[in-house]
């Protein structure tokens, strides 16, 4: 069992090793998997949105339209009226993380199990949050925002710039890692049937929940920033 965990946790993540910077510029396997995920999503989008019509719509079009309406409603509801312009981005993040978490169903290691991917996602999130605040308030007000509700809090507010993406990144990474480790252990103990049932929970349900939590928190930060 120890070897299994070692194999899972200490494996070499590099897909393409770049002999410069001591592995700091390696292309990881997780990134390659996100390429595949994104490629599949591209194809899916292109296939699903093919020849849309205004009248006599196909079932496919009706499904896509109601899905778009629904996911916009979900993210728009979390962002509030002020931040509603970011709903499409949040919807894309939701779809991307959910899809990434669910590749475990096909026996692939989820890319979100790698800290690199979650770090990239949370970096984008904090850039979006602060960008939204800057755009809404302007530079002066944005700077003043750090001293609110009172100047004593300012160091905390500045620390939050790092804490928020770190917590987002670690939460997603830890949850998916934990789920995968538990799944591996269960597969080791009971090899048949039982893992399939739990996989439904860990890969689909937990994956969707983690994606939702990530998007929900980012939306909350944006809402807070643009208020």
**Which residues sit at the interface with other proteins, rule CB under 8 A?**
9-10, 13-14, 18, 21, 23-28, 30-31, 34-35, 38, 41-42, 45-46, 48-49, 52-54, 61, 64-65, 68, 88-89, 91-93, 95-96, 114-117, 119-121, 123-124
Residue 122 Cβ vs other proteins, minimum distance, rounded to whole Å: 10
Q: What is the maximal distance between C-alpha atoms in the chain?
A: 62
* Eight-state DSSP code of residue 26: P
Nearer to other proteins, 50 or 144 (CB): 50
Closest to other proteins by CB, 7 or 227: 7
Tell me how far, at minimum, the Cβ of 11 lies from other proteins, in Å: 9
Least CB distance to other proteins at residue 152 (A) = 34
d(CA 142, CA 162): 16
The distance of closest approach from Cβ of residue 59 to other proteins in the complex, given in angstroms and rounded to an integer, is 15
Q: Of 85 and 144, which has the nearer Cβ to other proteins?
A: 85
For other proteins, the closer of residues 84 and 92 by Cβ is: 92
CA 169/CA 165 separation, integer angstroms? 6
Whether 28 contacts 114, CB under 8 Å: yes
Nearest to other proteins of 119, 186 (CB atom): 119
Assign 3-state DSSP to the chain and report helix, strand, coil percentages, each to 5: 80, 0, 20
CB of 108 to other proteins, least distance (A): 16
CB of 84 or CB of 198, closer to other proteins:
84
Structure tokens at 103: 């590749």
The rounded distance, in Å, linking the Cα atoms of 125 and 90 is 9
Cα distances (Å, whole numbers) of residue 69 to 85, 149, 180: 14, 37, 32
Provide the minimum distance between the beta carbon of 198 and other proteins in the complex, in angstroms, as a whole number: 23
The angle, 0 to 180 degrees and rounded to 10, between the axes of the packed helices 29-48 and 59-79 is 120
């Amino acid at each position: 069992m120890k070897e299994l965990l070692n194999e899972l946790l200490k494996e070499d993540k590099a897909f393409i090793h770049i002999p410069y910077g001591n592995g700091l510029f390696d292309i990881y396997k997780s990134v390659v998997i996100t390429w595949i995920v994104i490629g599949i999503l591209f194809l899916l989008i292109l296939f699903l949105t093919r020849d849309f019509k205004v009248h006599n719509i196909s079932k496919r079009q009706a499904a896509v339209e109601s899905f778009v309406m629904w996911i916009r409603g979900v993210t728009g509801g979390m962002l509030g009226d002020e931040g509603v312009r970011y709903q499409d981005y949040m919807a894309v993040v939701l779809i991307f993380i959910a899809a990434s978490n669910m590749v475990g169903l096909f026996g692939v290691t989820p890319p979100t199990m790698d800290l690199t991917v979650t770090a990239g996602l949370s970096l984008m999130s904090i850039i979006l949050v602060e960008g939204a605040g800057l755009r809404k308030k302007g530079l002066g007000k944005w700077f003043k925002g750090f001293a609110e509700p009172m100047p004593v809090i300012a160091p905390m507010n500045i620390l939050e710039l790092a804490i928020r993406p770190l917590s987002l990144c670690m939460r997603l990474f830890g949850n998916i890692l934990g789920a995968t480790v538990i799944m591996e252990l269960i597969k080791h103990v009971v090899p048949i049937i039982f893992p399939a049932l739990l996989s439904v929970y860990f890969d689909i349900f937990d994956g969707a929940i983690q994606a939702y939590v990530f998007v929900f928190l980012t939306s909350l930060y944006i809402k807070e920033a643009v208020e």
